[in-house]
Amino acid sequence: MKCYITDGSGIQNLSLANRPEPTEPPPGEVLVEVHAVSLNYRDLMVANGKYGKKDPIIAGSDMAGVVTKVGQNVTEFKAGDRVLNAPFRCWPAGTLREEWAKTFIGGNGVDGVLAEKITYPAASLVKIPSHLSFKQAATFPIAALTAWSAVVTHGRVRAGDWVLVHGTGGVSLFALQIAKMHGGRIILSTSSQEKAAIVGEKYQVQETFDYNRENWPELIQEITAGHGADIIVEVVGGASLAKSIQAAAYGGRVALIGVLGGTDSAINVRHMLARQVTVRGIFMESTQELRSLVRSWESAGLYPHIDRSFPFEQAQQAYQYLQSQKHIGKVVIELKS
Per-residue model confidence as pLDDT tens digits over 320-333: 999 999 999 999 99
Q: What is the CA radius of gyration of the chain?
A: 20
Answer whether residue 73 is part of any domain.
yes
The mean-pLDDT minimum among 101-105, 113-117, 214-218 falls in: 214-218
Q: Give 231's pLDDT tier (boundaries 50, 70, 90).
A: very high
What is the domain range of residue 23?
2-143+285-334
- Give the Cα separation of 159 and 181 in Å (integer): 9
Same domain, 165 and 231: yes
CB 138 within 8 A of CB 62: yes
- Residue 181, burial from CB neighbour count under 10 angstroms (0-12, 13-18, 19+): middle
- The mean pLDDT value for 229-240 works out to 92
More confident residue, 293 or 55: 293
Same domain, 117 and 231: no
* C-alpha distance from residue 98 to each of 61, 139, 247 (Å): 19, 26, 33
Same domain, 83 and 188: no
Answer whether residue 150 is part of any domain.
no
Per-residue model confidence as pLDDT tens digits over 201-214: 899 899 999 988 88
Q: Give 264's pLDDT tier (boundaries 50, 70, 90).
A: confident
Same domain, 11 and 83: yes
Answer whether residue 308 is part of any domain.
yes
Answer whether residue 149 is part of any domain.
no
First-last CA distance in the chain:
18
- The mean pLDDT value for 33-48 works out to 96
pLDDT value of residue 263: 77
Last residue of a domain, one of 237, 252, 281: 281
Same domain, 24 and 127: yes
Percent of the chain with pLDDT over 90: 86
- The mean pLDDT value for 271-275 works out to 89
- The mean pLDDT value for 131-143 works out to 97
Same domain, 188 and 231: yes
Same domain, 99 and 48: yes
Answer whether residue 133 is part of any domain.
yes
Last residue of a domain, one of 281, 302, 319: 281
Position 268 pLDDT exceeds 90: no
- Give the Cα separation of 337 and 330 in Å (integer): 17
Answer whether residue 148 is part of any domain.
no
Same domain, 23 and 74: yes
Tell me how many domains the chain contains: 2
Same domain, 126 and 216: no
- The mean pLDDT value for 149-169 works out to 96
pLDDT value of residue 204: 87
Same domain, 66 and 130: yes
- The mean pLDDT value for 160-186 works out to 96
* C-alpha distance from residue 136 to each of 76, 99, 133, 241, 305 (Å): 23, 30, 5, 31, 8
Last residue of a domain, one of 239, 265, 281: 281
Same domain, 75 and 170: no
- The mean pLDDT value for 19-23 works out to 92
Query: What is the domain-level CATH number for residue 180?
Result: 3.40.50.720
Query: What is the domain-level CATH number for residue 101?
Result: 3.90.180.10
Same domain, 169 and 182: yes
Spell out the residues 6+ positions from residue 70 whose beta carbon is closer than 8 angstroms to its own. 25, 30, 31, 77, 78, 79, 122
Answer whether residue 25 is part of any domain.
yes
Q: Give 186's pLDDT tier (boundaries 50, 70, 90).
A: very high
Answer whether residue 116 is part of any domain.
yes
Q: What is the pTM of this model?
A: 0.94
In the chain, DSSP assigns E strands to 2-6, 15-18, 29-38, 57-58, 62-70, 82-85, 117-121, 125-127, 162-166, 185-189, 207-209, 229-234, 248-256, 278-281, 306-311, 330-334
- Give the Cα separation of 283 and 274 in Å (integer): 27
pLDDT value of residue 61: 97
